[in-house]
């Protein structure tokens, strides 16, 4: 797949190196994708840097309390669009009962590896 074949159409920002799209099936309000215009390490690195900066700004502006940044690489990891793209997912207090473990939740029941521990 090439950049001009990606399925996303709802453009938020378009730069020389990447485009930011609204995710077609967002897991939270504001879930966006950073998609490099070329499939190179340099362009993908720019996507990660931009995603991190956006997330940081979101927190500073009170849009969300936290965020996850991630990428699915390969079918076994859940990738469905076979072109590199970086997810930025805003997180808010209460959006799930116990968020400990973060991205570890990609394997059900493995996210909170400290579940059942007591603090005393």
Total count of domains within the chain: 1
Q: How far apart are CA 77 and CA 88, in angstroms?
A: 17
Structural domain boundaries, residue 46? 3-94
Is 114 inside any structural domain? no
Query: Which tens digits make up the pLDDT trace of 91-116?
Result: 999 998 888 888 877 766 665 556 66
Answer yes or no: pTM beyond 0.85. Answer: yes
Q: Please report whether residue 81 resides in a domain.
A: yes
Residue 77 maps to a domain? yes
> CATH number of the domain that 89 lies in?
3.30.428.10
| Helix%, strand%, coil% for the chain, nearest 5 | 25, 20, 55
In this prediction, residues 5-18 reach a mean pLDDT of: 97
Whether residue 48 lies inside any domain: the answer is: yes
CA–CA dist 102, 96 (Å, integer): 11
Tell me the per-residue pLDDT of 48-71, one tens digit each, with 9 for 90 and over.
999 999 999 999 999 999 999 999
């Amino acid at each position: 797949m090439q950049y001009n074949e990606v399925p996303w159409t709802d453009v938020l920002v378009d730069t020389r190196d990447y485009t930011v799209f609204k995710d077609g099936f967002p897991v939270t309000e504001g879930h966006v994708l950073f998609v490099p215009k070329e499939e190179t390490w340099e362009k993908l690195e720019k996507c990660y840097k931009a995603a991190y900066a956006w997330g940081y700004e979101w927190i500073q502006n009170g849009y969300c309390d936290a965020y996850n940044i991630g990428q699915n690489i390969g079918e076994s990891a859940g990738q469905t669009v076979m072109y590199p793209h970086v997810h930025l997912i805003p997180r808010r207090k209460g959006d799930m009962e116990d968020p400990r473990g973060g991205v570890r939740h990609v394997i059900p029941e493995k996210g909170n590896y400290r579940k059942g521990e007591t603090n005393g």
